[in-house]
Amino acid sequence: MSLNARQNLKYAGIKLIELIATLFVVSFLTFAAFSIIPGDTAQIMLGPNATPEQVARLRTELGLDQPLPVRYITWVAGAFTGNLGNSSSFNVPVISLIAQRLPVTLGMSILALIMVIAVSYPLSIFSARRPGRIGDTICSILGHILFAIPPFVLSLLLIVLASGVLHIFTMGKYAPPEKGFGNYIASLALPAFAIALPKIAMTFKFMRSAIIEQNASEYVKTERSHGLSEARILLRHVLPNSNVSSITIITLVLSDILGGSLIVEQVFNLPGLGRLLLTAIDRRDFPLMSGMIFYLALITVILYFASDILASIADPRIRLK
């Protein structure tokens, strides 16, 4: 095995260990937090009219009478195998509730990410090649405005414009994938746009700075002195050398999109994970809350793990640090 291959495996192994350790810490903190919060899951499931004997019997069936370490081991083992128990308010498996709502949040997040990449990259290249000019100034001002507007305010403005003025969007009308892929995408396009707009501004700012930094480097000046065209320098050198910054910002944006979707789903009345989490909080559904938070943390940790691996591939020097 070559030295480079051994370095790749060693780096990936270290990051994998960090991922697993992070997951265990997050899972324990999540489980412990919901275990010490006042409120009895068995009492909530049975209702206020349940007798103490009924509550005690259900606590035994659910394993709530076991010590905290034993309950945690049982819970985390179930979490990694897809068994998070039953929701106390819906009385169905937590994993089935998450699976039902996942297409909404996942589809909206992927659509928002596509919008971010499709808009921010060309704009950042355009502005970075003409820093300080009128086009760059306009893009920067618009970016600052979009970045400053809270997501729920932006969502309300888009609803008023698209539904009240242009009449091209129906509030709360969600079409699941089985009703047709086109209808599914159309029902998520405006919420995804509301999520994407501030992220476009953030990605534009970071990518513009990265490209300007590369354009000012000595190797670019040398290539210009050798007569290479700006397009060739951009495609062959500047953009590839900006890959690490691109990977980092896209990871941050995607994790931020997943968090921002919680608010946007509520505003647009979409049956996604965000509304499910708010419902779980409102009903003090601890099994559902802990399961959702664990899986959201799992997705975030995996995103950062993938980001580290891709960044090390784009710039091998990272593995040596």
Q: Rank 194-198, 256-260, 287-291 by mean pLDDT and report only the highest.
A: 194-198
pLDDT for 43: 65
Q: What is the mean pLDDT of residues 137-164?
A: 81
Determine contact, residues 117/257, Cβ cutoff 8 Å.
no
pLDDT for 152: 75
CA gap 250, 117 in Å, rounded = 8
CA gap 287, 182 in Å, rounded = 35
Determine contact, residues 287/217, Cβ cutoff 8 Å.
no
pLDDT for 33: 74
Q: pLDDT tens-digit profile of 252-273?
A: 888 888 777 778 888 888 888 8
pLDDT for 143: 82
pLDDT for 40: 63
pLDDT at 76 over 60: yes
Q: pLDDT tens-digit profile of 16-54?
A: 888 888 888 888 887 777 766 666 666 666 666 777 777
CA gap 154, 268 in Å, rounded = 11
Q: What is the mean pLDDT of residues 87-101?
A: 85
Hey, what domains does the chain have and what are their CATH numbers?
1-89+283-321 (no CATH), 101-274 (1.10.3720.10)
Residues forming a β-bridge with 93: 86
Q: What's the whole-model pTM score?
A: 0.80
Q: pLDDT tens-digit profile of 202-255?
A: 888 888 888 888 877 787 778 778 777 777 777 777 777 777 777 888 888 888
CA gap 63, 65 in Å, rounded = 5
User: Residue 37 gets which letter from DSSP?
Assistant: S
